[in-house]
Amino acid sequence: MRYSRALLATNNALPPHCGTDEYAKAKRDSSMTDSNAAINTDEMALVQELRDSYQRIKHELGKVVVGQEDVIEQLLICIFARGHALLVGVPGLAKTLLIRTLSETMNLSFSRIQFTPDLMPSDITGTEVLQEDKATGDRSFKFLPGPIFANIILADEINRTPPKTQAALLEAMQEHQVTAGGKRHSLNPPFFVLATQNPIEQEGTYPLPEAQQDRFMFNITVDYPSEDEELQVMKMTTATYKGAVSHVLDGAKIQQLQEVVRKVPIAEHVIRYAMQFSRMTRLNNEDAPEFVKRYVSWGAGPRASQYLILGAKARAVLHGRNYVSGEDIRAVAHPVLRHRVLPNFSAEAEGITSDRIVDTLIEMVPRAEADTLNDERLPKVTGQS
């Protein structure tokens, strides 16, 4: 396997677990991109507020939802990074409850759209109706907004409706607007689509096209609770307990926090590290490892690299750091890549999933430039003896 010279460059390298001194040096270093200038004093206050809000939101969600800490963290990373999320899990794992409760803690408008085989695009986006002014007799078309005009959209069982209706979300997710009757109607920010999907049902379902899956920043796996968590669920849901949550953030504050997340500094070699995860999955890349060429039918595009970086920035702040490390990239690699790396028939026949492919990539790609200095393959790549 060959690694690019850019990845193995060692000038001004920043180790993935650097301390305060290394971080201060990195901010002065030319390896920091121009778009990631140092965070000023006011923005540092917002960073601290974001961390505090994260803990408060987790506390409020814990009044209603038991466990699912990884799912909650990934959902909040998506929201603070301005992304959309697809939650995949069997029925009864509180996916809908989690999303609805999350909207309450953020004091945002919420719409649930139950996707069914007979749902039409206009049932989501809205439609124009002909109205008559009884005083003058004039007739005109008026746009009646659909349920998509909210801050948080729960697209429940999104794979139960035909592709024509699924595609009604595309413009809203990408452009944050809806076009009807030749007119554009903007959606009020912040705007998130949080979709759910059942992985075990096949009949009466319409798998999301790859192009639409790519619009989702994260594909989040919702797993079964542990025994202790399930016991707590039984106690809460079979008695008179009703959890009430408090508002933590509002729409204006969320937009402020989204802006400060994008200003989190990231070293250039960490950006290149993130890019390797996407580039190594592409069959037309001569550096792609053999297992990728054997088991992958289609790899990740540039949007995967973008979301790896944005997700890592949000995670770094939530975990109390003001810079991005390789650890953050690895932490978001699975939810970013699992729906963008498509296993082929050989992989499916051998039980190899996209998650296993990502696991192998994490092991193979050098974790940081400082780590590659000890890589025995370095002299072969650089031509040194």
Lowest mean pLDDT among 70-79, 335-344, 363-372: 363-372
pLDDT at 153 > cutoff 80: yes
Say which CATH number the domain at 306 has. Answer: 1.10.8.80
pLDDT band of residue 329 (cuts 50, 70, 90) is very high
Task: Please identify, among 247, 278, 298, the residue that sits at the C-terminal boundary of a domain.
Answer: 247
If asked whether residues 24 and 93 sit together in one domain, one would say no
In which domain, by residue range, is 143 found? 84-247
Task: Give the 3-state DSSP-derived string for 93-139, with helices as H, strands as E and coil as C.
Answer: CCHHHHHHHHHHHCCCCEEEEECCCCCCHHHHHEEEEEEECCCCCCE
Q: Are strands 126-132 and 110-114 parallel, antiparallel or unpaired?
A: unpaired
Residues 203 and 115 in one domain: yes
For residues 352 and 277, state if they share a domain: yes
What mean pLDDT is predicted for residues 12-19? 39
As a whole number, mean pLDDT of residues 144-172 equals: 90
Would 93 be classed as within a structural domain? yes
CB 286 within 8 A of CB 4: no
pLDDT at residue 356 tops 70: yes
Higher pLDDT among residues 26 and 130, named by residue: 130
Is residue 342 domain-resident? yes
Which residues make beta-bridge pairs with 298?
A: 342
Same domain, 208 and 106: yes
| pLDDT of amino acid 376 | 55
Q: Is position 346 within any domain?
A: yes
- Among 212, 247, 282, the domain boundary falls at 247
Nearest to 334 by CA among 366, 302, 312: 312
Q: How many helices (H) and strands (E) does the chain have?
A: 19, 11
Residue 201: predicted pLDDT: 67
| Distance from C-alpha of 329 to C-alpha of 276, rounded to nearest angstrom | 11
Q: What is the mean pLDDT of residues 197-215?
A: 81
The predicted structure's pLDDT at residue 337? 94
CATH of the domain at 220: 3.40.50.300
Cβ proximity of 368 and 16 under 8 Å: yes
Question: For position 35, what pLDDT does the model report?
Answer: 44
Q: Is residue 45 one of the residues assigned to a domain?
A: no
For residue 140, count other CB atoms closer than 10 A to its CB: 10
- Does residue 102 sit in the same domain as residue 243? yes
Positive or negative: CA dihedral 186, 188, 190, 195: negative
pLDDT(105) > 50? yes
Residue 113: per-residue pLDDT: 92
Reported confidence tier of residue 39, pLDDT bands at 50, 70, 90: low
Q: Are residues 239 and 295 in the same domain?
A: no
Dihedrals phi, psi of 340, to nearest 5 degrees: -110, -15
Q: Do 96 and 169 sit in the same domain of this protein?
A: yes
More confident residue, 357 or 201: 357
> Given this model, what pLDDT does residue 199 score?
80
What pLDDT score was predicted for residue 72?
92
115 and 152 housed in the same domain: yes
Give the pLDDT band of residue 202 (cuts 50, 70, 90): low
Beta carbons of 166 and 143 less than 8 angstroms apart: no
Are 138 and 165 members of one domain?
yes
- Span of 87-91, 167-171, 236-240, 269-273 with lowest mean pLDDT: 236-240
pTM here is: 0.81
Q: Is 68 among the domain residues?
A: no
The most confident of the ranges 123-137, 233-247, 281-295 is 281-295
Examine residue 229 and state whether it is found in any structural domain, yes or no: yes
Q: How confident is the model at residue 220 (pLDDT cuts 50, 70, 90)?
A: very high
Q: What is the pLDDT of residue 340?
A: 92
Strands (E), the chain: 85-88, 110-114, 126-132, 139-145, 152-156, 177-180, 183-186, 192-197, 218-221, 296-298, 342-343
Task: Report which of residues 198 and 366 the model is more confident about.
Answer: 198
Question: Both 110 and 153 in a single domain?
Answer: yes
The reply to whether 155 and 284 lie within a common domain is no
Examine the pLDDT at 32 and tell me if it is beyond 50.
no
Between these two residues, 15 and 351, which has the higher pLDDT value? 351
Q: What is the pLDDT of residues 269-279, one digit of tens each?
A: 889 999 999 99
- Which pLDDT belongs to residue 1? 42
* 59-63, 200-204, 249-253, 261-265: range with lowest mean pLDDT: 200-204
Classify residue 97: in a domain, yes or no.
Answer: yes
Q: Tell me, yes or no, whether 192 lies in a domain.
A: yes
Please, which pLDDT band fits residue 235 given cuts at 50, 70 and 90?
Answer: confident
**Domain count of the fold of the chain:** 2
Check residue 333 and give its pLDDT.
95
| Cα–Cα distance for residue pair 9/108, rounded to 1 Å | 45
- Is pLDDT of 7 > 80? no
- Cα separation, 40 vs 43, in Å, equals 5
Alpha-carbon Rg for the chain, nearest whole angstrom, is 23
- Closest of 146, 148, 174, 196 to residue 83, by C-alpha: 174
| 274 shares its domain with 225 | no
